């Protein structure tokens, strides 16, 4: 009995800390990613980030139509990816893993043949083609924390493990598999013909049908096996009403993301993290502009309502969110309210605890620290001495 009561303050401290950790981070600090040297404007594309907050992306360059350059943003600095003369025409950075390996696509001429490429430690590695593959790589390439790369060319999907690139096949006679998402466990979501599937490299599992929708788009897959997708929804009269987003998993089925507080019911979920949070965008309404959103614990928030400008810092209009990591950081596009030309710029939004959440965390830590100073060792000794 004594051991129970002496451990109660520790349990209370742990409960306070857990409550603080689970409390919604309802404010975000927003920082400007910056401008890629030589870009025509800060119209960034393919923004992606890893759990360390490293961002990769691309931007249109001066010097001719179709020229695209890529960059990495880390520790407050934006630097171009140095790809060498061969890769100067057009390189799209599609993603970055925990080791900082970037993956993307290189095109020798605008709209011409493409290559899937890795960028690692200052070196560019051509992923190469799977046997029977073509040289047109679209629409993007994916990499996970194990370094596995998957993508699609004109002949179908391909996978690279280590130094070998092979075709992705789900079985004899099946239509080619085209991956659209990849998690760190090697599970893929994609298409075989008109069938949406989960594929672990050995077994393909069809996804349940989603009724009364069209233009189904698979967007992201987390390590818990949750899948983010969106589709066009049809009304009772058969007319297309809006695009909406869902999160699917085997246990709960399809869960629809609710409308924003503004009432907007058209939204596109772009990314899903391991905590089940979704970052995305709603399109511009008549006479307006799009807004970035965050879906968390079943509630859809306008990200603009969650930003907390720093002292003297600029206020943003956050128009779209492209990716979210497991720390809750969000990368996307927006504009500074003070910018008269309304140029869209890249942003990185980092969650910061509100006063109540921070106070709860401090209370838990103070209680835990004080108890450890006064009696942690005697408690453990007493508990041991009471055991047979």
DSSP structure string for 194-255: TEEEEE-SS-EEEPPP-TTEEEEEEEEE-TTS-EEEEEEEE-TTS-EEEEEEEEEETTTEEE
Summarised one tens digit per residue, pLDDT across range 231-285 is: 888 777 766 677 889 999 999 999 999 776 555 668 899 999 999 999 999 887 6
pTM of the predicted model over 0.85: no
Q: Examine the pLDDT at 203 and tell me if it is beyond 50.
A: yes
Is 371 in contact with 9 (CB distance < 8 Å)? yes
What is the per-residue burial (b if ≥16 Cβ within 10 Å, else e) of 237-266?
eeeeeebbbbbbeeeeebeebebbeeebbb
HSE-up of residue 28 (Cα within 13 Å, Cβ side): 26
Q: Examine the pLDDT at 148 and tell me if it is beyond 80.
A: yes
What per-residue confidence (pLDDT) applies to 46? 81
- Tell me the percentage of the chain whose pLDDT exceeds 90: 39
For 176, phi then psi, to 5°, come to: -55, 145
What per-residue confidence (pLDDT) applies to 142? 95
| Confidence category of residue 372, pLDDT binned at 50, 70, 90 | very low
Cβ neighbours of residue 243 closer than 8 Å, sequence gap 6 or more: 215, 230, 231, 232, 233, 266, 267, 268, 283
Kindly indicate whether the domain formed by 28-232+239-385 is annotated with CATH number 3.30.43.10: no
Q: Indicate the average pLDDT of the chain.
A: 78
The DSSP letter of residue 303 is G
Is 277 in contact with 324 (CB distance < 8 Å)? yes
Element holding 55 (H helix, E strand):
strand 55-61
Rounded to an integer, the average pLDDT of 30-55 is 80
Is 44 in contact with 346 (CB distance < 8 Å)? yes
């Amino acid at each position: 009995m004594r051991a129970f009561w002496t451990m109660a303050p520790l349990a209370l401290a742990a409960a306070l800390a857990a409550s603080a950790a689970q409390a919604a981070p309802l404010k975000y600090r927003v920082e400007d990613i910056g401008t890629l040297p030589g870009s025509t404007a800060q119209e960034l594309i393919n923004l992606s980030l890893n759990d360390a907050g490293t961002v990769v992306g691309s931007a249109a360059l001066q010097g001719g139509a179709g020229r695209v350059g890529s960059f990495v943003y880390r520790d407050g600095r934006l630097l171009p990816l140095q790809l060498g003369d061969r890769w100067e025409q057009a390189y799209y950075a599609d993603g970055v893993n925990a080791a900082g390996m970037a993956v993307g696509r290189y095109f020798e001429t605008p709209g011409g043949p493409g290559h899937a490429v890795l960028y690692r430690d200052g070196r560019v590695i051509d992923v190469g083609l799977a046997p029977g593959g073509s040289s047109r790589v679209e629409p993007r390439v994916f990499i996970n924390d194990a370094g596995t790369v998957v993508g699609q060319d004109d002949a179908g999907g391909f996978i690279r493990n280590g130094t070998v690139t092979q075709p992705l096949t789900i079985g004899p006679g099946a239509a080619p598999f085209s991956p659209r998402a990849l998690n760190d466990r090697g599970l893929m979501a994609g298409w075989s013909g008109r069938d949406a599937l989960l594929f672990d490299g050995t077994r393909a599992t069809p996804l349940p049908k989603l009724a009364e929708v069209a233009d189904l788009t698979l967007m992201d897959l987390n390590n818990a096996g949750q899948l983010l997708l969106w589709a066009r929804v049809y009304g009772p009269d058969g007319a297309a009403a809006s695009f909406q987003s869902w999160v699917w998993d085997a246990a709960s089925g399809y869960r629809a993301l609710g409308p924003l507080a503004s009432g907007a019911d058209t939204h596109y979920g772009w990314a899903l993290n391991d905590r089940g949070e979704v970052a995305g965008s709603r399109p511009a309404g008549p006479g307006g502009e799009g807004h970035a959103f965050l879906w968390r614990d079943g509630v859809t928030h306008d990200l603009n309502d969650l930003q907390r400008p720093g002292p003297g810092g600029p206020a943003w209009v956050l128009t779209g969110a492209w990716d979210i990591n497991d720390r809750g950081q969000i990368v996307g596009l927006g504009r500074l309210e003070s910018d008269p030309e309304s140029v869209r710029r890249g942003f990185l939004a980092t969650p910061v605890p509100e006063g109540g959440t921070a106070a709860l965390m401090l209370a838990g830590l103070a209680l835990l620290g004080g108890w450890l100073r006064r009696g942690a060792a005697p408690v453990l000794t007493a508990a041991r001495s009471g055991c047979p």
